[in-house]
Structures are given as C-alpha cells and as structure tokens.
A and B are shown apart, each in its own frame.
Chain A
Amino acid sequence: KAGVTQTPRYLIKTRGQQVTLSCSPISGHRSVSWYQQTPGQGLQFLFEYFSETQRNKGNFPGRFSGRQFSNSRSEMNVSTLELGDSALYLCASSLYREGSEQFFGPGTRLTVL
C-alpha cells in the first residue's frame, strides 16, 4: 500500500506571497491532519479534516487554511507569508476512529525569504 505523499517536497517563497501544499493520504484513510515543525516550536498541530470537513484546529492564525476533497486528498494554504512560516509541513493520514495511529508523509520544506 502506498504511503502518504506530499507535493512539492521543497518550496521557496518570498514574504507576502501565498503557498499551497498538497497531501494524498493512504488509500482508505479518510482523516488528514497537518502539522508544522520548526526548530523553536517543535511539532505543532495545524488542523484535521475528515469527510471534507475541518474537525479540529490548532492555535494558528487565519492565514493558515486547508481543505479536503471527496477523494480525501487535502491541501493547505498559507497566505501573506512571513519569515516565521519557514518550516517543515507534515501531513498525516489515519482511519477516523478513536486511537488510530497517524501515518506521516515526508513533508514539504517551505523556506520564506
């Protein structure tokens, strides 16, 4: 079974631009979560989607948004990029049931200049 895939793997943007990252979950997984990983803050939960609906959201500003499509693929968008948005963005998929483990993709490395 193919794992979680994320595209692109690397991205360089400048301040003020916006960016869209994509995530394809493991086949059969309907829950997709997004995380931001930085050296200073570590791994932080952004949001989680199930059946095209955002179910949970972390403590991030409204510039961070996401969506999920009917095939469970998900995208996240960051508008008006700031230098502090430079991070590794990880996507994880899981079966939507209590205690399900999350399977992570390789991440997208975003650099904001």
Chain B
Amino acid sequence: AQSVTQPDIHITVSEGASLELRCNYSYGATPYLFWYVQSPGQGLQLLLKYFSGDTLVQGIKGFEAEFKRSQSSFNLRKPSVHWSDAAEYFCAVPSSGGGADGLTFGKGTHLIIQP
C-alpha cells in the first residue's frame, strides 16, 4: 500500500529564513505527488503537484518541491518565509494505482514562524 512519511511534526523558522519540509513516500510506480496547505479552521489548498517530467516543480505562494526518485522524497522548499506561511502542510500520494481515487496523506508538519 502507498504511504507517506513526514518526519517533522513541528518546524519553527524565523521570518525571512529559508524552509524545507520533508516528505518520503512508498509507492509501487512513478508516483503522483502533492503538497497541500491547511490554515487553521480551513480546508486544504493545493500548493503544487508532480506528475512527470521536470523533477523541480513550482507552485503557488513561492513554494517549490523537488522529486528525487533515488531517495523516495518530495521535499517542499521556500527561500524566504512570511508570517502568513504559518500553517499545517501535508504531503500526499494517490491511495492506489495513480488513478482518480482517494489520497493518502502524511501526518502533516506544523510550521511556526518566529518574528
């Protein structure tokens, strides 16, 4: 079964500092990979997705992620965080087969921004 691991439950960074959130996946084939963000009391918003092709993916709000097959990783990065980036971040893969089915999410990483 597909699975996603986000090793960091909480991460604290200073405003203006760079950010990297880790995501490791277990998947039988070339995966589709997603990063979502959830602000308090809100639903999930898609930041970016990887389907195929270029392994460096650009997303919204200045985020990017790099797919590394050799490391089974899809880490999310941002060069300079803003206080508004404080939220919960989730990495996800399709639950099976890559088709239009449910997503399997990691446990999430809670991002705290220090002034």
Give residues in A with beta carbon < 8 Å to B. Answer: 4, 31, 33, 35, 42-43, 45-48, 50, 55-56, 58, 90, 92, 94-107
Contact = CB atoms under 8 A, between A and B. Distances in A.
A97 B49 CA distance: 15
3 smallest CB-CB distances across A and B, nearest first, come from: A45-B102, A104-B43, A43-B105
22 contacts: A31-B100, A35-B103, A42-B107, A42-B108, A43-B105, A43-B108, A48-B100, A90-B43, A94-B100, A96-B100, A97-B100, A98-B98, A98-B99, A98-B100, A99-B32, A99-B51, A99-B98, A104-B43, A104-B45, A106-B42, A106-B43, A107-B43
Contacts of A46: 102
Nearest to B51: A99
A99 B44 contact: no
Interface in B18-62: 32, 34, 36, 41-46, 49, 51
A101 B90 contact: no
Main secondary structure of the interface of A (DSSP, over half): strand
A58 B102 contact: yes
Contacts of A98: 32, 98-100
Contacts of B108: 42-43
Given A56-B95, A90-B43, A45 B100 contact: no
Interface of B: 32, 34, 36, 41-46, 49, 51, 90, 94-96, 98-108
B90 A43 contact: yes
Given A43-B90, A45-B95, A56-B95, A90 B44 contact: yes
Nearest to B6: A42
A62 to B, nearest CB: 18
Contacts of B96: 56
A69 B90 CA distance: 30
A79 B77 CA distance: 42
A96 B90 CA distance: 22
Nearest to A103: B46
A100 B95 contact: no
